[in-house]
A and B are shown apart, each in its own frame.
Chain A
Amino acid sequence: MQSLGEAIANALGLLLGGDPELWEIVAISFRVSVTAMLVATPFALLVAFALAHFTFPGRKLLVTLFSSLLSVPAVVVGLTFYLLLSRQGPLGDWKLLFTQSAMVIGQIALAFPILVAMSHSAFHALDRRAWETARTLGAGPLRATLTLMREIRFGLFAALFAAFGRIIAEVGASMMLGGNILHYTRNIPTAIALETSKGEFAQGIALGIVLLSLTFSVTALLQHLQQRRMIGR
Protein backbone atom coordinates (compact mmCIF):
# COMPACT_ATOMS: atom_id res chain seq x y z
CA MET A 1 0.00 0.00 0.00
CA GLN A 2 1.17 3.52 -0.73
CA SER A 3 2.10 5.50 2.33
CA LEU A 4 1.30 9.08 3.18
CA GLY A 5 5.01 9.83 3.15
CA GLU A 6 5.26 8.63 -0.40
CA ALA A 7 2.32 10.88 -1.29
CA ILE A 8 3.99 13.90 0.25
CA ALA A 9 7.26 13.20 -1.55
CA ASN A 10 5.21 12.77 -4.69
CA ALA A 11 3.50 16.13 -4.13
CA LEU A 12 6.79 17.93 -3.62
CA GLY A 13 8.18 16.30 -6.73
CA LEU A 14 5.16 17.42 -8.73
CA LEU A 15 5.30 20.98 -7.42
CA LEU A 16 9.03 21.50 -7.70
CA GLY A 17 9.53 19.40 -10.82
CA GLY A 18 7.50 21.94 -12.77
CA ASP A 19 5.27 19.25 -14.27
CA PRO A 20 3.48 21.31 -16.96
CA GLU A 21 0.31 19.23 -16.78
CA LEU A 22 0.00 19.85 -13.05
CA TRP A 23 0.52 23.58 -13.39
CA GLU A 24 -2.05 23.67 -16.17
CA ILE A 25 -4.59 22.01 -13.88
CA VAL A 26 -3.70 24.45 -11.09
CA ALA A 27 -4.05 27.38 -13.49
CA ILE A 28 -7.48 26.20 -14.62
CA SER A 29 -8.60 25.82 -11.01
CA PHE A 30 -7.57 29.31 -10.03
CA ARG A 31 -8.68 30.95 -13.23
CA VAL A 32 -12.20 29.54 -12.96
CA SER A 33 -12.61 30.21 -9.24
CA VAL A 34 -11.11 33.71 -9.33
CA THR A 35 -13.35 34.64 -12.27
CA ALA A 36 -16.37 33.33 -10.38
CA MET A 37 -15.42 35.38 -7.32
CA LEU A 38 -14.86 38.53 -9.39
CA VAL A 39 -18.31 38.23 -10.93
CA ALA A 40 -20.17 37.12 -7.81
CA THR A 41 -18.69 39.41 -5.16
CA PRO A 42 -19.96 42.87 -6.25
CA PHE A 43 -23.50 41.59 -6.79
CA ALA A 44 -23.50 39.60 -3.59
CA LEU A 45 -22.27 42.57 -1.54
CA LEU A 46 -24.99 44.78 -3.02
CA VAL A 47 -27.64 42.20 -2.22
CA ALA A 48 -26.28 41.73 1.32
CA PHE A 49 -26.17 45.47 1.86
CA ALA A 50 -29.73 45.89 0.60
CA LEU A 51 -30.94 43.06 2.82
CA ALA A 52 -29.30 44.59 5.88
CA HIS A 53 -30.09 48.20 5.21
CA PHE A 54 -33.55 48.43 3.72
CA THR A 55 -36.80 47.01 4.91
CA PHE A 56 -39.13 45.69 2.26
CA PRO A 57 -41.71 42.92 2.04
CA GLY A 58 -40.14 39.50 1.63
CA ARG A 59 -36.81 40.56 3.11
CA LYS A 60 -36.83 37.98 5.87
CA LEU A 61 -37.81 35.29 3.42
CA LEU A 62 -34.85 36.23 1.21
CA VAL A 63 -32.45 36.10 4.16
CA THR A 64 -33.75 32.64 5.07
CA LEU A 65 -33.52 31.56 1.46
CA PHE A 66 -29.86 32.56 1.10
CA SER A 67 -29.00 30.89 4.41
CA SER A 68 -30.64 27.64 3.38
CA LEU A 69 -28.97 27.73 -0.05
CA LEU A 70 -25.69 27.27 1.86
CA SER A 71 -26.55 23.62 2.37
CA VAL A 72 -27.38 22.74 -1.23
CA PRO A 73 -24.91 20.08 -2.44
CA ALA A 74 -22.59 21.24 -5.21
CA VAL A 75 -23.69 18.35 -7.37
CA VAL A 76 -27.31 19.59 -7.26
CA VAL A 77 -26.16 23.02 -8.40
CA GLY A 78 -24.19 21.27 -11.14
CA LEU A 79 -27.17 19.20 -12.18
CA THR A 80 -29.49 22.22 -12.29
CA PHE A 81 -27.16 24.18 -14.56
CA TYR A 82 -26.42 21.06 -16.59
CA LEU A 83 -30.12 20.82 -17.46
CA LEU A 84 -30.29 24.56 -18.21
CA LEU A 85 -27.15 24.59 -20.35
CA SER A 86 -27.59 21.32 -22.23
CA ARG A 87 -28.42 21.80 -25.91
CA GLN A 88 -31.83 20.41 -25.04
CA GLY A 89 -32.24 22.92 -22.20
CA PRO A 90 -33.61 26.47 -22.20
CA LEU A 91 -30.11 28.01 -22.45
CA GLY A 92 -28.81 25.43 -24.93
CA ASP A 93 -28.15 28.07 -27.57
CA TRP A 94 -25.39 29.50 -25.42
CA LYS A 95 -23.40 26.30 -26.06
CA LEU A 96 -21.72 26.54 -22.70
CA LEU A 97 -21.93 22.98 -21.35
CA PHE A 98 -18.49 21.39 -20.85
CA THR A 99 -16.69 24.74 -21.00
CA GLN A 100 -14.84 26.77 -18.40
CA SER A 101 -17.66 29.31 -18.60
CA ALA A 102 -20.10 26.65 -17.41
CA MET A 103 -17.80 25.90 -14.47
CA VAL A 104 -17.63 29.62 -13.66
CA ILE A 105 -21.43 29.82 -13.69
CA GLY A 106 -21.75 26.84 -11.36
CA GLN A 107 -19.17 28.28 -8.98
CA ILE A 108 -20.89 31.68 -8.99
CA ALA A 109 -24.08 29.93 -7.94
CA LEU A 110 -22.18 28.17 -5.15
CA ALA A 111 -20.31 31.24 -3.95
CA PHE A 112 -23.25 33.65 -4.09
CA PRO A 113 -25.27 32.41 -1.09
CA ILE A 114 -22.14 32.22 1.10
CA LEU A 115 -21.12 35.75 0.17
CA VAL A 116 -24.63 37.08 0.76
CA ALA A 117 -25.29 35.23 4.02
CA MET A 118 -21.93 36.01 5.61
CA SER A 119 -21.62 39.63 4.50
CA HIS A 120 -25.24 40.18 5.46
CA SER A 121 -24.40 39.24 9.04
CA ALA A 122 -21.43 41.59 8.91
CA PHE A 123 -23.55 44.47 7.63
CA HIS A 124 -26.24 43.60 10.10
CA ALA A 125 -23.88 43.88 13.06
CA LEU A 126 -23.07 47.42 12.06
CA ASP A 127 -24.82 50.19 13.88
CA ARG A 128 -27.33 51.85 11.60
CA ARG A 129 -26.20 55.20 12.88
CA ALA A 130 -22.81 54.71 11.20
CA TRP A 131 -24.53 55.11 7.86
CA GLU A 132 -26.40 58.20 8.98
CA THR A 133 -23.23 59.72 10.42
CA ALA A 134 -21.40 59.14 7.17
CA ARG A 135 -24.27 60.73 5.27
CA THR A 136 -24.47 63.80 7.54
CA LEU A 137 -20.73 64.21 7.16
CA GLY A 138 -21.44 64.76 3.50
CA ALA A 139 -20.72 61.34 1.97
CA GLY A 140 -22.84 60.33 -1.01
CA PRO A 141 -24.63 56.95 -0.91
CA LEU A 142 -21.78 55.15 -2.72
CA ARG A 143 -19.11 56.76 -0.58
CA ALA A 144 -21.10 55.98 2.57
CA THR A 145 -21.45 52.32 1.52
CA LEU A 146 -17.71 52.04 0.90
CA THR A 147 -17.04 53.58 4.30
CA LEU A 148 -19.28 51.01 5.94
CA MET A 149 -17.53 48.19 4.07
CA ARG A 150 -14.23 49.45 5.40
CA GLU A 151 -15.62 49.31 8.90
CA ILE A 152 -16.65 45.68 8.56
CA ARG A 153 -13.82 44.51 6.32
CA PHE A 154 -12.94 41.60 8.60
CA GLY A 155 -16.40 40.15 8.24
CA LEU A 156 -16.34 40.71 4.50
CA PHE A 157 -12.89 39.10 4.16
CA ALA A 158 -14.19 36.11 6.10
CA ALA A 159 -17.06 35.84 3.60
CA LEU A 160 -14.63 36.03 0.67
CA PHE A 161 -12.34 33.35 2.14
CA ALA A 162 -15.25 31.05 2.91
CA ALA A 163 -16.74 31.41 -0.57
CA PHE A 164 -13.39 30.99 -2.31
CA GLY A 165 -12.64 27.98 -0.14
CA ARG A 166 -15.84 26.32 -1.12
CA ILE A 167 -15.54 26.83 -4.86
CA ILE A 168 -11.82 26.11 -5.27
CA ALA A 169 -12.39 22.76 -3.54
CA GLU A 170 -15.74 21.63 -4.88
CA VAL A 171 -15.86 18.70 -7.25
CA GLY A 172 -19.55 18.04 -7.96
CA ALA A 173 -20.49 21.06 -10.04
CA SER A 174 -17.14 21.24 -11.87
CA MET A 175 -17.34 17.57 -12.82
CA MET A 176 -20.90 17.88 -14.18
CA LEU A 177 -20.54 21.23 -15.93
CA GLY A 178 -16.93 21.01 -17.09
CA GLY A 179 -16.76 17.31 -17.88
CA ASN A 180 -13.17 16.93 -16.52
CA ILE A 181 -11.64 17.52 -19.98
CA LEU A 182 -7.83 17.40 -19.91
CA HIS A 183 -6.13 20.74 -20.73
CA TYR A 184 -9.49 22.48 -20.65
CA THR A 185 -11.86 21.82 -17.76
CA ARG A 186 -9.83 19.50 -15.54
CA ASN A 187 -9.20 21.35 -12.29
CA ILE A 188 -7.57 20.13 -9.09
CA PRO A 189 -10.70 18.61 -7.47
CA THR A 190 -11.83 16.74 -10.60
CA ALA A 191 -8.26 15.54 -11.19
CA ILE A 192 -8.22 14.19 -7.61
CA ALA A 193 -11.52 12.40 -8.21
CA LEU A 194 -10.10 10.87 -11.40
CA GLU A 195 -6.81 9.73 -9.82
CA THR A 196 -8.72 8.22 -6.89
CA SER A 197 -11.03 6.31 -9.23
CA LYS A 198 -7.96 4.90 -10.99
CA GLY A 199 -6.49 3.77 -7.67
CA GLU A 200 -3.64 6.30 -7.94
CA PHE A 201 -4.05 7.28 -4.30
CA ALA A 202 -0.59 8.83 -3.91
CA GLN A 203 -1.20 11.03 -6.93
CA GLY A 204 -4.61 12.05 -5.51
CA ILE A 205 -3.15 12.95 -2.12
CA ALA A 206 -0.32 14.78 -3.84
CA LEU A 207 -2.82 16.92 -5.71
CA GLY A 208 -4.65 17.52 -2.43
CA ILE A 209 -1.43 18.74 -0.85
CA VAL A 210 -0.79 20.97 -3.85
CA LEU A 211 -4.26 22.50 -3.45
CA LEU A 212 -3.78 22.97 0.27
CA SER A 213 -0.38 24.63 -0.05
CA LEU A 214 -1.53 26.96 -2.81
CA THR A 215 -4.69 28.08 -1.02
CA PHE A 216 -2.63 28.45 2.16
CA SER A 217 -0.20 30.76 0.37
CA VAL A 218 -2.96 32.86 -1.15
CA THR A 219 -4.85 33.15 2.14
CA ALA A 220 -1.70 33.97 4.10
CA LEU A 221 -0.74 36.62 1.57
CA LEU A 222 -4.17 38.26 1.69
CA GLN A 223 -4.25 38.20 5.48
CA HIS A 224 -0.78 39.68 5.62
CA LEU A 225 -1.81 42.53 3.30
CA GLN A 226 -4.96 43.08 5.29
CA GLN A 227 -3.08 43.34 8.58
CA ARG A 228 -0.42 45.62 7.19
CA ARG A 229 -3.09 47.97 6.00
CA MET A 230 -4.67 47.97 9.44
CA ILE A 231 -1.40 48.82 11.17
CA GLY A 232 -0.51 51.42 8.57
CA ARG A 233 -3.76 53.25 9.10
Chain B
Amino acid sequence: MIRMLFALVLSALAAAPRAENAVVRLATTTSTDNSGLLRALLPRFERASGYRVQVIAVGTGKALRMGAAGDVDVVLVHARAAEEAFVASGAGERRYPVMHNDFVLVGPRDDPAGVRAAGDIGEALRRIAATRAPFVSRGDDSGTHKKERVLWRRAGITPRGRWYREAGQGMGRVLQIAGELGAYTLSDRGTWLAMRDKLPSALLFSGGAALRNPYGIIPVSAKRYPDVNHAGAMALVEWLTSPAGQQAIDAFRVAGERLFIPDATRTTARHAVAG
Protein backbone atom coordinates (compact mmCIF):
# COMPACT_ATOMS: atom_id res chain seq x y z
CA MET B 1 0.00 0.00 0.00
CA ILE B 2 2.69 2.45 1.05
CA ARG B 3 4.88 1.46 -1.90
CA MET B 4 1.91 1.92 -4.18
CA LEU B 5 1.32 5.40 -2.83
CA PHE B 6 4.94 6.26 -3.35
CA ALA B 7 4.84 4.97 -6.90
CA LEU B 8 1.73 7.04 -7.58
CA VAL B 9 3.32 10.15 -6.19
CA LEU B 10 6.38 9.57 -8.27
CA SER B 11 4.41 9.16 -11.45
CA ALA B 12 2.33 12.21 -10.57
CA LEU B 13 5.47 14.28 -10.35
CA ALA B 14 7.20 12.62 -13.28
CA ALA B 15 6.50 15.75 -15.28
CA ALA B 16 9.08 17.57 -13.17
CA PRO B 17 12.14 15.33 -13.00
CA ARG B 18 15.14 16.63 -11.14
CA ALA B 19 18.09 16.85 -13.49
CA GLU B 20 20.32 15.16 -10.97
CA ASN B 21 23.72 16.43 -11.96
CA ALA B 22 22.76 19.96 -12.85
CA VAL B 23 21.62 20.61 -9.27
CA VAL B 24 23.94 21.30 -6.35
CA ARG B 25 22.39 21.11 -2.90
CA LEU B 26 23.95 23.48 -0.43
CA ALA B 27 23.14 23.30 3.26
CA THR B 28 24.12 26.55 4.88
CA THR B 29 23.41 28.85 7.78
CA THR B 30 20.67 31.41 8.03
CA SER B 31 23.32 34.14 8.25
CA THR B 32 24.52 33.64 4.66
CA ASP B 33 21.03 33.29 3.28
CA ASN B 34 18.99 35.84 5.25
CA SER B 35 21.62 38.53 4.75
CA GLY B 36 21.11 38.28 0.99
CA LEU B 37 24.72 37.21 0.32
CA LEU B 38 23.79 33.99 -1.48
CA ARG B 39 21.25 35.81 -3.62
CA ALA B 40 24.01 38.11 -4.75
CA LEU B 41 26.57 35.33 -5.34
CA LEU B 42 24.77 32.26 -6.60
CA PRO B 43 23.22 33.63 -9.81
CA ARG B 44 26.74 34.54 -10.95
CA PHE B 45 28.00 31.06 -10.14
CA GLU B 46 25.03 29.53 -11.93
CA ARG B 47 25.68 31.62 -15.02
CA ALA B 48 29.39 30.81 -14.98
CA SER B 49 29.05 27.07 -14.37
CA GLY B 50 25.67 25.96 -15.66
CA TYR B 51 24.84 24.37 -12.32
CA ARG B 52 21.76 25.31 -10.34
CA VAL B 53 22.13 25.64 -6.57
CA GLN B 54 19.38 24.66 -4.15
CA VAL B 55 19.91 26.37 -0.82
CA ILE B 56 18.70 24.83 2.44
CA ALA B 57 19.25 27.43 5.15
CA VAL B 58 19.37 26.03 8.70
CA GLY B 59 21.68 26.26 11.70
CA THR B 60 25.27 25.09 11.35
CA GLY B 61 24.65 22.01 13.52
CA LYS B 62 21.76 20.88 11.38
CA ALA B 63 23.57 21.70 8.14
CA LEU B 64 26.48 19.50 9.21
CA ARG B 65 24.12 16.69 10.15
CA MET B 66 22.51 16.90 6.69
CA GLY B 67 26.00 16.62 5.22
CA ALA B 68 26.88 13.71 7.51
CA ALA B 69 23.76 11.86 6.34
CA GLY B 70 24.60 12.48 2.67
CA ASP B 71 21.39 14.43 2.14
CA VAL B 72 23.19 17.44 0.61
CA ASP B 73 26.24 17.83 -1.64
CA VAL B 74 28.12 20.60 0.12
CA VAL B 75 27.92 22.66 3.33
CA LEU B 76 28.86 26.32 3.94
CA VAL B 77 29.00 26.87 7.70
CA HIS B 78 30.75 28.69 10.52
CA ALA B 79 31.84 26.55 13.48
CA ARG B 80 35.50 25.66 13.14
CA ALA B 81 35.65 22.80 15.67
CA ALA B 82 32.49 21.15 14.37
CA GLU B 83 33.72 21.54 10.79
CA GLU B 84 36.97 19.81 11.62
CA ALA B 85 35.08 16.98 13.34
CA PHE B 86 32.89 16.69 10.23
CA VAL B 87 35.99 16.26 8.05
CA ALA B 88 37.68 13.93 10.55
CA SER B 89 34.61 11.68 10.60
CA GLY B 90 35.09 11.06 6.88
CA ALA B 91 31.72 12.52 5.86
CA GLY B 92 33.22 15.86 4.85
CA GLU B 93 36.01 15.82 2.30
CA ARG B 94 38.04 18.91 3.11
CA ARG B 95 37.44 22.38 4.51
CA TYR B 96 38.14 25.39 2.30
CA PRO B 97 38.21 28.81 3.94
CA VAL B 98 35.82 31.23 2.21
CA MET B 99 35.35 34.39 4.25
CA HIS B 100 34.88 35.75 7.73
CA ASN B 101 33.05 38.39 9.62
CA ASP B 102 32.61 38.79 13.36
CA PHE B 103 30.17 38.36 16.18
CA VAL B 104 28.80 41.34 18.04
CA LEU B 105 27.17 41.73 21.43
CA VAL B 106 23.79 43.39 21.11
CA GLY B 107 21.59 44.66 23.91
CA PRO B 108 19.30 47.35 25.30
CA ARG B 109 20.43 50.91 24.53
CA ASP B 110 20.69 51.87 28.19
CA ASP B 111 23.07 48.94 28.75
CA PRO B 112 22.18 48.06 32.38
CA ALA B 113 25.09 45.64 32.71
CA GLY B 114 27.58 48.21 31.40
CA VAL B 115 29.17 46.03 28.73
CA ARG B 116 30.13 49.08 26.63
CA ALA B 117 32.93 49.72 29.10
CA ALA B 118 34.19 46.12 29.13
CA GLY B 119 37.78 45.50 28.06
CA ASP B 120 37.07 42.21 26.29
CA ILE B 121 34.16 39.92 25.51
CA GLY B 122 34.90 37.76 28.58
CA GLU B 123 34.55 40.74 30.85
CA ALA B 124 31.38 41.82 29.03
CA LEU B 125 29.80 38.41 29.63
CA ARG B 126 30.90 38.39 33.26
CA ARG B 127 29.19 41.77 33.74
CA ILE B 128 25.95 40.42 32.26
CA ALA B 129 26.08 37.36 34.53
CA ALA B 130 26.96 39.45 37.60
CA THR B 131 24.02 41.85 37.11
CA ARG B 132 21.72 39.00 36.04
CA ALA B 133 20.69 41.08 33.05
CA PRO B 134 18.53 38.97 30.72
CA PHE B 135 20.44 37.23 27.93
CA VAL B 136 18.79 35.36 25.05
CA SER B 137 20.76 32.40 23.73
CA ARG B 138 20.10 30.80 20.34
CA GLY B 139 19.94 27.43 22.06
CA ASP B 140 19.77 25.64 18.70
CA ASP B 141 23.28 24.19 18.26
CA SER B 142 23.95 26.70 15.46
CA GLY B 143 27.40 28.13 14.79
CA THR B 144 26.50 31.22 16.79
CA HIS B 145 25.26 29.09 19.68
CA LYS B 146 28.44 26.99 19.66
CA LYS B 147 30.49 30.20 19.70
CA GLU B 148 28.44 31.64 22.54
CA ARG B 149 28.99 28.56 24.69
CA VAL B 150 32.72 28.70 24.07
CA LEU B 151 32.76 32.37 25.10
CA TRP B 152 30.90 31.66 28.35
CA ARG B 153 33.24 28.80 29.13
CA ARG B 154 36.31 30.96 28.51
CA ALA B 155 34.80 33.66 30.70
CA GLY B 156 34.59 31.06 33.48
CA ILE B 157 30.81 31.18 33.75
CA THR B 158 28.15 28.50 33.51
CA PRO B 159 25.13 30.55 32.47
CA ARG B 160 22.13 29.36 34.38
CA GLY B 161 19.06 30.91 35.95
CA ARG B 162 16.07 32.98 34.98
CA TRP B 163 18.17 35.66 33.30
CA TYR B 164 19.58 33.17 30.76
CA ARG B 165 16.95 32.19 28.19
CA GLU B 166 17.42 29.63 25.42
CA ALA B 167 15.15 30.44 22.51
CA GLY B 168 15.89 27.54 20.16
CA GLN B 169 15.33 29.75 17.10
CA GLY B 170 17.20 31.35 14.23
CA MET B 171 19.25 34.56 14.53
CA GLY B 172 16.55 36.90 13.23
CA ARG B 173 14.00 35.56 15.69
CA VAL B 174 16.42 35.71 18.58
CA LEU B 175 17.26 39.34 17.81
CA GLN B 176 13.54 40.11 17.83
CA ILE B 177 13.07 38.28 21.14
CA ALA B 178 16.03 40.06 22.71
CA GLY B 179 14.67 43.38 21.46
CA GLU B 180 11.23 42.74 22.93
CA LEU B 181 12.63 41.52 26.25
CA GLY B 182 15.27 44.24 26.54
CA ALA B 183 17.85 41.46 26.69
CA TYR B 184 21.44 40.98 25.52
CA THR B 185 22.35 38.49 22.81
CA LEU B 186 25.27 37.44 20.62
CA SER B 187 24.70 37.90 16.90
CA ASP B 188 26.71 37.58 13.73
CA ARG B 189 27.32 41.05 12.32
CA GLY B 190 25.55 40.27 9.04
CA THR B 191 22.18 39.46 10.54
CA TRP B 192 22.51 42.37 12.97
CA LEU B 193 23.12 44.85 10.14
CA ALA B 194 20.30 43.39 8.08
CA MET B 195 17.85 43.71 10.98
CA ARG B 196 18.95 46.62 13.14
CA ASP B 197 16.47 49.10 11.61
CA LYS B 198 13.63 46.96 12.91
CA LEU B 199 15.08 46.55 16.41
CA PRO B 200 15.18 48.68 19.55
CA SER B 201 18.58 47.23 20.49
CA ALA B 202 22.04 48.70 20.05
CA LEU B 203 25.43 47.21 19.22
CA LEU B 204 27.26 47.37 22.55
CA PHE B 205 30.46 45.40 22.17
CA SER B 206 32.50 44.14 19.23
CA GLY B 207 36.08 43.47 18.23
CA GLY B 208 38.87 41.15 19.32
CA ALA B 209 40.11 37.84 17.97
CA ALA B 210 37.70 35.91 20.21
CA LEU B 211 34.73 37.21 18.20
CA ARG B 212 36.09 36.30 14.78
CA ASN B 213 33.60 34.28 12.75
CA PRO B 214 35.19 32.28 9.91
CA TYR B 215 33.10 30.51 7.27
CA GLY B 216 34.27 27.36 5.53
CA ILE B 217 32.86 25.33 2.65
CA ILE B 218 33.12 21.52 2.77
CA PRO B 219 32.08 19.12 0.00
CA VAL B 220 30.43 15.93 1.23
CA SER B 221 32.79 13.00 0.69
CA ALA B 222 32.21 11.15 -2.57
CA LYS B 223 34.00 8.20 -1.01
CA ARG B 224 31.37 7.95 1.72
CA TYR B 225 28.42 8.84 -0.53
CA PRO B 226 29.17 7.94 -4.16
CA ASP B 227 25.91 9.43 -5.39
CA VAL B 228 26.39 12.99 -4.15
CA ASN B 229 26.98 15.60 -6.82
CA HIS B 230 30.66 15.91 -6.07
CA ALA B 231 31.57 17.60 -9.35
CA GLY B 232 28.93 20.24 -8.72
CA ALA B 233 30.07 20.73 -5.14
CA MET B 234 33.66 21.20 -6.28
CA ALA B 235 32.58 23.66 -8.97
CA LEU B 236 30.93 25.75 -6.27
CA VAL B 237 34.01 25.51 -4.03
CA GLU B 238 36.26 26.51 -6.91
CA TRP B 239 34.11 29.48 -7.84
CA LEU B 240 33.60 30.80 -4.30
CA THR B 241 37.34 30.66 -3.64
CA SER B 242 38.28 32.03 -7.09
CA PRO B 243 39.09 35.71 -7.60
CA ALA B 244 35.67 36.24 -9.18
CA GLY B 245 33.87 34.71 -6.19
CA GLN B 246 36.07 36.44 -3.64
CA GLN B 247 35.58 39.82 -5.32
CA ALA B 248 31.83 39.27 -5.32
CA ILE B 249 31.95 38.56 -1.58
CA ASP B 250 34.08 41.65 -1.03
CA ALA B 251 31.68 43.81 -3.02
CA PHE B 252 28.55 42.63 -1.21
CA ARG B 253 26.98 45.44 0.83
CA VAL B 254 23.97 45.73 3.11
CA ALA B 255 22.92 49.31 3.87
CA GLY B 256 26.30 50.45 2.59
CA GLU B 257 28.31 48.19 4.89
CA ARG B 258 30.52 45.30 3.90
CA LEU B 259 29.32 42.13 5.66
CA PHE B 260 31.94 39.52 4.78
CA ILE B 261 35.68 39.70 4.27
CA PRO B 262 37.04 37.20 1.74
CA ASP B 263 39.51 34.68 3.14
CA ALA B 264 40.51 32.27 0.40
CA THR B 265 44.22 32.96 0.09
CA ARG B 266 45.12 29.73 -1.70
CA THR B 267 43.22 30.81 -4.78
CA THR B 268 45.42 33.74 -5.56
CA ALA B 269 48.20 31.35 -6.53
CA ARG B 270 45.99 28.80 -8.18
CA HIS B 271 43.81 31.06 -10.25
CA ALA B 272 46.21 33.92 -10.80
CA VAL B 273 46.60 33.18 -14.50
CA ALA B 274 43.01 32.27 -15.22
CA GLY B 275 41.64 35.09 -13.09
Contact = CB atoms under 8 A, between A and B. Distances in A.
Interface of A: 35, 38-39, 43, 86-88, 91-92, 94-95, 97-101, 104-105, 108, 179-182, 184, 194, 196-199
A39 B7 CA distance: 10
B206 interface: no
Contacts of A38: 12
A198 B54 contact: no
B25 A198 contact: no
A164 B25 CA distance: 30
Contacts of B173: 196-197
A39 B12 contact: yes
Of all A-B residue pairs in the complex, the 9 with the closest CB atoms, nearest first, are A87-B70, A179-B56, A181-B54, A199-B198, A197-B172, A88-B69, A198-B172, A101-B13, A197-B170
Contact of A87 (B30, B54, B71, B175): B71
A179 B28 CA distance: 11
A108 B70 contact: no
Contact of B57 (A91, A92, A180, A199): A180
Nearest to A104: B9
Contacts of A196: 173
26 contacts: A39-B5, A87-B69, A87-B71, A87-B225, A88-B70, A91-B6, A95-B227, A98-B54, A100-B13, A100-B16, A101-B10, A104-B9, A104-B13, A105-B5, A108-B9, A179-B54, A179-B56, A181-B56, A194-B34, A197-B169, A197-B173, A198-B172, A198-B195, A199-B175, A199-B176, A199-B195
Contacts of A184: 54
A99 B10 CA distance: 11
B22 interface: no
Given A87-B225, A108-B9, A181-B55, A198 B194 contact: yes
Nearest to B225: A87
Interface residues on B, range: 20 to 34
B181 interface: no
Which of A43, A86, A182, A196 has the most B CB atoms < 10 Å from its CB?
A: A182
Contact of A198 (B12, B34, B72): B34
A198 B239 CA distance: 28
A38 B11 CA distance: 12
Which of A38, A92, A101, A180 has the most B CB atoms < 10 Å from its CB?
A: A101
Interface of B: 5-6, 8-10, 12-13, 16, 18, 25, 30, 34, 54-57, 69-72, 169-170, 172-173, 175-176, 194-195, 198-199, 225, 227
A86 B57 CA distance: 17
A88 B67 CA distance: 11
A108 B8 CA distance: 11
B8 A39 contact: yes
A108 B13 CA distance: 14
A35 B12 contact: yes
A204 to B, nearest CB: 12
A35 B9 contact: yes
Contacts of A87: 69-71, 225
Contacts of B8: 39
Nearest to A1: B198
A98 B169 contact: no
A197 B173 CA distance: 5
Nearest to A185: B54
Contacts of A97: 71
Given A197-B172, A198-B194, 7 more contacts: A39-B9, A88-B69, A92-B70, A104-B12, A181-B54, A181-B55, A198-B195
A95 B23 CA distance: 13
Contact of A108 (B5, B34, B195, B225): B5
Given A87-B71, A87-B225, A43 B5 contact: yes
Nearest to A34: B12
Contacts of A92: 70
B6 A94 contact: yes
A197 B10 CA distance: 33
Nearest to A38: B12
Given A105-B6, A181-B55, A198-B195, A98 B34 contact: no
A101 B9 contact: yes
